[in-house]
Amino acid sequence: MKNILFSSLAAAVLAGGALKAQTFNDASGDIDPSISTGGGTLDILSTEVSNPTPTDIRFNITVNGNISTNTGGVDWGNFMVGIATGGTGTTTGNAWNRPINLNSPIGGMNYWIGSWVNGGGGAQLWSYNGTSWIEQTGSAPTISLTAGATSQISLTLLFASIGAPSGDWYFDVYSSGGGASDSAVDALSNPDVAITSWAGPYTSSQNPPGTGISVVPEPSTYALLAISALGLAGYAARRRARR
């Protein structure tokens, strides 16, 4: 099992530059036979993380089924992202009170993105204040659905809405059913079966140790950062010379 890591470099780039999009893959068919896959829609294949604008972050989740009943698919399922940025977090539960937990090397979950694909889709962002979860109604992610033999659930939100972390931070992506007590049918960071019954529970952790995946900027971004640094140095030198 692996947790998925963003480095401090990636956080700096998200604050004002181009992030190299990275795709994190999960095994297909890693759902227990006793649990419905929703026609494959609960089977997470991958998630691409990128910033479509200098201030946004996007989780683009690909699943192994058709999420549109208009084309013979199955339009149900919940898709969630648990995030630990090193702030005050919890290792027990989440904003939707699902039996899904996250325990990273920098602490528990302090942000939760919850989404659904039925009825055209919708999404929420929640933050943890040390005692309770609070919905961030003014910072709700936008959701975009692309149906097909494999479908995509795209969740986009302001990077600042998850605290714009400047250090390493961790996340995991989960699929689940519509029941309030349903656990993680599939988890991006786990290539094996996550749960053997709907109630779970499931915990993302690095015990046993997992693999950290760093996000790095495009080579062109390195060049832009270097040029910016040189420009600032030249400006400071000119100011000193005028004094």
CATH number of the CATH domain containing 107: 2.60.40
Closest CA to 92 of 108, 116, 74, 104: 108
CA dist., res. 86 & res. 107, Å (int): 6
Q: Are strands 100-104 and 202-205 parallel, antiparallel or unpaired?
A: parallel
Residues 98-135: pLDDT tens digits? 999 998 888 899 999 999 999 999 999 999 999 999 99
Residue 239 belongs to some domain of the structure = no
Residues 168-215: pLDDT tens digits? 788 899 999 999 999 999 999 888 999 999 999 999 986 543 333 334
Domain extent at residue 37 = 4-218
The count of domains in the chain is 1
CA dist., res. 211 & res. 1, Å (int): 8
Residue 237 belongs to some domain of the structure = no
Question: What's this model's pTM, rounded to 2 decimal places?
Answer: 0.83
Residue 81 belongs to some domain of the structure = yes
